[in-house]
Amino acid sequence: MTFVDNIIAWYSAHMNYASITALMAVESSFIPFPSEVVIPPAAFVAGQPDSVLCATGNYLVDVTIIVLFGTLGAMIGAIINYGLSVWLGRIIIYKFADSKLGHLCLLSSEKLEKAESYFREKGNVSTFIGRFIPGIRQLISIPAGLSRMHFGAFLWWTFLGAFCWNCVLAAVGYVAAGQMDLIKEYSHELSVAILIIFGLAIVYFIVKRFIVSAKKQ
């Protein structure tokens, strides 16, 4: 069994709000761990009848609380990345990424450069959008820290992105009925679909505001 498989097995036997928070903090830091195996199964368990929950001794009875604790964990992990980036600086962060330990964490200078490029291109909002993009999600807090992004803005966009992504994962937990292979297989397509939906929503509100302003004139 791989490291991730062992963690999943442990999580299955210790699924509670504390373990959700802890694993989502790990997922949001520089340690590679998929959020797709944390929130969806918890949401699936919470959707079971009360008789089943009592029989298994599991009390994850509220999906909203699952999403909130998952978001709290994601923010803890993101703050760790941000703080380390501010404290250590670009040179040390890049050296760590290219070290043996960094490679064990699936880091590399190329990945960091990709995340920094994305941050420079999108600006502060990248800490929101990046939460929906595989390969960027765990790293976007690093360039935010390296650029010393305003901490209040960082917290807001991180919270918004993590909350929305966890809402999606919770919904998938109900639909996929705990089928983790299916969730992981289509996680990229799901991320793209959510980005499109948010993009269309933003365009809609901009156009609506423009029309209202034009009518007033």
pLDDT, averaged across the chain: 76
Higher pLDDT, residue 108 or 207:
108
pLDDT of residue 214: 55
**How far apart are alpha carbons 135 and 197 in whole angstroms?**
20
Cβ neighbour number for residue 106 with a 10 Å cutoff: 14
pTM of full prediction above 0.85: no
Q: Provide the residue range defining the domain that includes 171.
A: 3-216
Number of structural domains (the chain) is: 1
Give yes or no for residue 183 having a pLDDT over 70. Answer: no
Torsion of CA 196, 198, 204, 206, to 10 degrees: -120
- Of 11-15, 106-110, 124-128, 175-179, the poorest mean pLDDT is in 175-179
Instruction: Mean pLDDT check: name the lowest of 27-36, 61-70, 159-168, 190-199.
Output: 190-199
Helix locations, 57-150, DSSP H: 63-97, 100-104, 109-122, 126-129, 141-146
Q: Which two tokens stand for residue 2?
A: 């791989």
Encode pLDDT of 65-105 as tens digits. Answer: 899 999 999 999 999 999 998 898 888 888 888 888 777 76
What is the per-residue pLDDT for 55? Answer: 42
**Gap between the Cα atoms of 165 and 77, Å rounded:** 15
Closest alpha carbon to 81 in 39, 138, 5 = 138
Output the pLDDT for position 70: 92
